Amino acid sequence: ALFRSLSSKNPVAIDAYLDAGNTFFTMALCMTDSTNMTAAAAALATTNAPALSKADTSKSLLQQSLHCYLRATRINPTDVNIRLNLAALFRAKGDESNADFHDERAMMLLETGQFAHAMEHMNAAVNISVALSPIVAMEYTLLVKNKAMALHELHRRRQQLTPSAPHPTKRAEENGGRTRRMSVAAEVLADKKSILGIKKTLSVHLANRGKVHELMLDVDAARLDYLNAVYFDPLNFDVYFHLGTLAVHERKLNDAIEYFSQALVINPKLGVASVNLGVVYLLLQSYDLALYHLDMASTLIPDCAFVWANKACVYLKLDRVDDAVRNFSYAMKCMPTFAPFYVYRGRLLSSQKHLHDAMVDFAAALKMGYTGEL
């Protein structure tokens, strides 16, 4: 009851889901230990029904824990604590036929640079998810054969999202219809085996496989997986963020703006998207817009050093050197061992004839092992 209360009051906060998942997981582990003891004792008897009952209860608790962790992951895919807890959960389950097991195993291998093994597990996760529904399997086969299909669908949805302003009465009718559709969607999501639920899960696995491709420098394969992920779940904001990042690297800045903006429409609290959007506008020399988005990022992720460093770059372009120095100082507080920040601030202080302070920054950078030009 407490979990339902907390999750209903703030459905986008991960703490309630994480705590509930931890509780279910701990109960399952305790039940497993108890089951092992009961099974050993029952070996001398004619039946081990109590042990079987406890084993079923343990599996049920693990499944509830998994559900809570996955909900938290959907809200914040980059939270390390959730990932660690999921890894422990899948290790406890040891289910090779579970797509999430392979996904988490791949992410763990990815952290250690074992890209080829990570890709094997991601392929397994995708294949298991696709096989859950003949309809999803058919759609996925079409996407694989027609690589432009997902991109065309994305463009079609963009056009639908930017129509001309409707008449107020029509808008009210549409809102009522949208409410009914959302209600229907909620009912569908309640069924874990629903096609919509399978598509959402598949979208997560495709997005994670795209990340593996990206780290393996296979940009085309990464983009294809990201586009396919959006096809199966248009509300997967994490995918729009990665598509935007790819667009920045390819200097397709207008596309990057669209992708980052879409990510923020779905999740307005995605601070990293605000940072990247600010960087794109900085590259386009739209300094007011750059500051606007970086200011938004500074409220969402104030401990991110690169928010302040990029704000400093914008202020430099505006010849506001004092503001630039101040923001580099904020960045250094967030990352006190990142030598380049000391060099950048030292250069600015030197240009202002604050030579002693500049030398202090340069000396600190050199002490940290900086080998570049001062």
Does 182 fall in a domain?
no
Q: What was the pLDDT predicted at 218?
A: 94
327-359 pLDDT, tens digit per residue, is: 999 999 999 999 999 999 999 999 999 999 999
197 and 106 co-located in one domain: yes
The amino acid sitting at 242 is H
pLDDT lower than 70: segments of the chain: 1-13, 32-56, 78, 91, 93-97, 158-193
Q: Are 132 and 199 in contact (CB under 8 A)?
A: no
Count CA atoms within 13 Å of residue 196 on its CB side. 11
* Residue 95: predicted pLDDT: 60
Residues 101 and 124 in one domain: yes
Q: Are residues 63 and 140 in the same domain?
A: no
Whether residues 134 and 120 fall in one domain = yes
62-74 pLDDT, tens digit per residue, is 888 888 888 887 7
User: What is the count of structural domains for the chain?
Assistant: 2
122 close to 109: Cβ distance less than 8 angstroms: no
Helical axes 237-249 vs 195-215, angle rounded to 10°: 30
pLDDT of 255 reads 94
The answer to the question of residue 257 being in a domain is no
pLDDT at residue 104 in the model? 79
* Per-residue pLDDT, 94: 61
> What CATH number is given to the structural domain containing 126?
1.25.40
Give the integer Cα–Cα distance in Å for 279 and 311.
9
Residue of 63, 2, 25 whose CA lies nearest to 192: 63
**Of the candidates 202, 200, 207, the residue with the CA atom closest to the CA atom of residue 140:** 202
Look at residue 37 in the predicted model and tell me its pLDDT.
45
In this structure, which amino acid lies at residue 214? E
| Structure tokens given for 28 | 């399952």
The owner of tokens 């959006």 is 230
Q: Are residues 203 and 133 in the same domain?
A: yes
Q: Which domain holds residue 30?
A: 1-41+52-73+80-90
pLDDT of res. 11? 52
199 and 106 within one domain: yes
Are 153 and 205 within one domain?
Answer: yes
The reply to whether the predicted model has a pTM over 0.75 is no
The whole-angstrom separation of Cα 93 and Cα 151 is: 37
